[in-house]
Amino acid sequence: DAKTTQPPSMDCAEGRAANLPCNHSTISGNEYVYWYRQIHSQGPQYIIHGLKNNETNEMASLIITEDRKSSTLILPHATLRDTAVYYCIAAGGGSEKLVFGKGTKLTVNP
């Protein structure tokens, strides 16, 4: 699995868009990019994933660069309940292995 790099922490104002970056410069062609978040002391929650194209669902949007070496998770209107640790994972490539990094702690401020 490709290694991912995320900033350790970010802040966002309530109601504004939160843009969380992820670098995965060694990603292979058949590895997906997944995003999860974890609110304190709970199991991680799936947010979104994609391979090449940008994706959008009811929670967020995922923007993947054309060279696939980085991506951005966008929470369009952040709320206080979006305060969590966000994990970006690159996985696939013939193995079912899912390896989490340290993630980004997002704090949404009122």
Binding residues vs other proteins (CB under 8 A): 32, 34, 36, 41-46, 49, 51, 85, 87, 92, 96-103
Give me the phi and psi of 65, to 5 degrees please: -65, 160
Residues 6+ apart with CB under 8 A from 94: 30
Closer to other proteins by Cβ: residue 78 or 85: 85
Closest approach of other proteins to the CB of residue 110, in Å: 24
Give me the phi and psi of 82, to 5 degrees please: -85, -5
Closest approach of other proteins to the CB of residue 50, in Å: 10
Identity (one letter) of the amino acid at 87? Y
Closer to other proteins by Cβ: residue 14 or 61: 61
